[in-house]
């Protein structure tokens, strides 16, 4: 057996997975689930092992990765022009191989959830995953970008149900987190919309049943960013969170809102992508702070584990990068948002 060839093949497959699963973007979403889980642990004081917590992190990691892989599968024709360096259009991975990889990842995530948690958590996970895949394959093009936040908002709900399923309908806090993530995701996806192309003065993909100009789309993104910040303030008065959390939530929320409105005056691909990165950092930071503050009261060991993991996430995102400009737009170097690309 040629061990060198085997090692090269394995490394290539690992790289393909890390690339197509958007490993840095996966890490961005983990704090949403962890915030719901941390609140459940703080409010119920239920005993949890560290292995069980790590199992939950891996579950979110694999299932979210499977959704990203299926997103690339459905977008494989569009990506020939927008992102030709992605795994499928660059022939680093076949469409069939992508589906197999996504199925395996989803199976691992569901199995971990069933083993470590409960059937209610599995149900939430399956609903969120099915909705997100349906979004990538049909809902986005048919109805618009704002069909995605319904699925992403379930992240903190799933985290909460993992440890306190019987109290989900008895407390409003997990649903505040749902709204917060919903508004964050809406703002995030709308600032990501113009770089995907403009046709006859309007974005190619509708916002919800209707397409708008890049300028209007960015204004609405600012409105959603303000809504996320507002719910974040309500969260502060609902739970024992620090003024540090409140300061970050309000200051960065106002900054993103004003910046989105400013960029809407003369949107460019580069400005929109910078907004995407800033909005990603905002969601990652406020939910990580929230998670850490709950865990500091619950268990100091969990606090340090998540803090170290959060630093690791930040470094890994810097190494692998998060959201990239469409390749066609980089080549064009246009001063305004580019034209529609074939799908």
Q: How do residues 26-65 score in pLDDT, each as one tens digit?
A: 667 789 999 999 999 999 988 888 898 889 988 998 998 8
Q: pLDDT higher for 323 or 265?
A: 265
In the chain, % of residues over pLDDT 70: 85
In the chain, % of residues over pLDDT 90: 49
What pLDDT, in 10s, does the model give residues 300-311? 888 888 888 878
3 pLDDT band, cuts 50/70/90, is low
Q: What is the pLDDT of residue 39?
A: 96
Q: What is the pLDDT of residue 76?
A: 84
- HSE at residue 103, side-chain half, CA atoms within 13 A, is 6
For residue 149, what are the CA distances in angstroms to 11, 83, 140, 144, 180? 34, 24, 11, 11, 10
What pLDDT, in 10s, does the model give residues 130-188? 999 999 988 988 899 999 999 999 999 999 999 999 999 889 999 999 999 999 999 99
| Residue 250 to residue 106: CA distance in whole angstroms | 36
For residue 87, what are the CA distances in angstroms to 79, 94, 177, 300, 326? 10, 8, 34, 41, 14
Average pLDDT, the chain: 85
pTM score, two decimals? 0.87
| Residue 152 to residue 170: CA distance in whole angstroms | 22
Q: What is the pLDDT of residue 240?
A: 92
321 pLDDT band, cuts 50/70/90, is low
Q: What is the mean pLDDT of residues 280-304?
A: 91
Res. 340: pLDDT tops 50: no
Q: What is the pLDDT of residue 80?
A: 77
Res. 126: pLDDT tops 70: yes
Q: What is the mean pLDDT of residues 82-97?
A: 79
241 pLDDT band, cuts 50/70/90, is very high
Q: What is the pLDDT of residue 61?
A: 87
Q: pLDDT higher for 236 or 101?
A: 236
13 token code pair? 């497959």
Res. 343: pLDDT tops 60: no
Q: Single out the residue of 251, 247, 238, 109 nearest to residue 177, CA to CA.
A: 238
Q: pLDDT higher for 21 or 113?
A: 113
Res. 337: pLDDT tops 70: no
What pLDDT, in 10s, does the model give residues 244-262? 999 999 999 999 999 999 9
Res. 106: pLDDT tops 70: yes
What residues are paired with 199 via a beta bridge? 202
């Amino acid at each position: 057996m040629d061990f060198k060839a085997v090692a090269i093949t394995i490394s290539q497959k690992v790289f393909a997975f890390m690339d197509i699963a958007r490993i840095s973007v996966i890490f961005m979403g983990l704090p949403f689930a962890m915030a719901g889980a941390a609140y459940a642990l703080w409010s119920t004081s239920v005993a949890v092992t560290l292995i069980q917590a790590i199992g939950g992190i891996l579950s979110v990691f694999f299932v979210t990765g499977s959704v990203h892989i299926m997103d690339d599968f459905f977008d494989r024709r569009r990506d020939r022009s927008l992102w030709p360096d992605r795994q499928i259009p660059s022939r680093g991975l076949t469409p069939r191989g992508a589906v197999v990889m996504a199925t395996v990842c989803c199976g691992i995530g569901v199995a971990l959830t069933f083993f470590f948690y409960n059937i209610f958590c599995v149900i939430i996970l399956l609903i969120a995953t099915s909705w997100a895949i349906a979004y990538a394959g049909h809902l986005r093009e048919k109805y618009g970008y704002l069909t995605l936040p319904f699925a992403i908002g379930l992240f903190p709900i799933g985290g909460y149900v993992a440890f306190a399923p019987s109290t989900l309908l008895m407390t409003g806090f997990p649903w505040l987190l749902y709204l917060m993530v919903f508004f964050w995701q809406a703002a995030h996806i709308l600032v990501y919309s113009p770089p995907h192309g403009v046709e006859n003065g309007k974005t190619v993909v509708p916002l919800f049943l209707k397409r708008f100009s890049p300028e209007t789309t960015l204004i609405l993104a600012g409105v959603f960013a303000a809504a996320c910040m507002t719910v974040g303030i309500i969260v502060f008065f609902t739970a024992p969170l620090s003024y540090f959390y409140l300061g970050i939530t309000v200051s960065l929320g106002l900054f993103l809102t004003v910046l989105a409105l400013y960029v809407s005056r003369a949107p460019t691909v580069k400005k929109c992508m910078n907004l995407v990165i800033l909005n990603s950092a905002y969601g990652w930071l406020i939910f990580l702070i929230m998670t850490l503050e709950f865990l500091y009261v619950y268990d100091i060991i969990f606090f340090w584990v998540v803090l170290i993991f959060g630093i690791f996430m930040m470094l890994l995102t810097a190494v692998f990068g998060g959201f990239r400009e469409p390749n066609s737009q980089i080549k064009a170097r246009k001063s305004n948002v580019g034209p529609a690309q074939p799908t």
